[in-house]
Chain A
């Protein structure tokens, strides 16, 4: 059974940093691209970052480019999201997602999410 479990969320002040982790199990982690997707309270879903299965390439939307860094440790089956220079608009539940590619990316498994609140 595929499982994705995120940790690391919490309350953080604007301008500070936070690092999220996602432990994967139930599949061969290093065979899959992985992503982070987020959902602000009461809002829709927004893709945040993707990483290739080797970790050699990463992708971000303009809203987080230069502030967020996705990485992975294939030996530990763990995905990370380093978030720097956090803003109030980054307040959201962050989901670890497994990617599939058909043309571009969709997300076949999701974790339960970890909440990040950016506030002073």
Chain B
């Protein structure tokens, strides 16, 4: 199975700042990476798939980049509703596998 490693595990930032979350695959997954947001009391939300394609409804301050083994989720001009957990997931091969998550906290 493809192992997905996210970094950092925790990240503290203030509204208005920009942050980046990294995801590294144990082997090449081409461009096939998804990003999800998890917040207490809300359903998990798909943000990005295929590395950089924004899911309908994802604000444009979110962007994804990368290919092969290294990927980045960037959030520009943080809004208060952006704080929560973020997970990456490879959809290049079977079985689908997730990273361990990055907690984005308010500084």
Contact = CB atoms under 8 A, between A and B. Distances in A.
Interface of A: 4, 43-47, 59, 61, 95, 100, 102-112
Contacts of B52: none
Contacts of A105: 91, 96
Given A100-B49, A106-B89, A111-B43, A44 B101 contact: yes
B44 interface: yes
A61 B46 contact: no
B28 interface: no
Contact of A104 (B32, B42, B44, B99): B32
28 contacts: A4-B43, A43-B100, A44-B98, A44-B99, A44-B101, A45-B36, A45-B87, A45-B101, A46-B98, A47-B95, A47-B96, A47-B97, A47-B98, A59-B94, A102-B32, A102-B50, A103-B30, A103-B32, A103-B92, A104-B32, A104-B92, A104-B96, A105-B96, A106-B46, A107-B46, A108-B46, A108-B49, A112-B43
A88 B55 CA distance: 35
Chain A interface, >50% SS class: strand
Nearest to A44: B100
Interface size class of B (residues with CB under 8 A): 20 to 34
B34 interface: yes
Chain B interface, >50% SS class: loop
Interface of B: 30, 32, 34, 36, 42-46, 49-50, 55, 87, 89, 91-101
A77 B36 CA distance: 25
Nearest to A96: B43
A107 B36 CA distance: 9
B1 to A, nearest CB: 8
The 9 closest A-B CB pairs, nearest first, are A110-B44, A106-B34, A45-B98, A106-B91, A44-B100, A110-B43, A103-B32, A104-B91, A47-B96
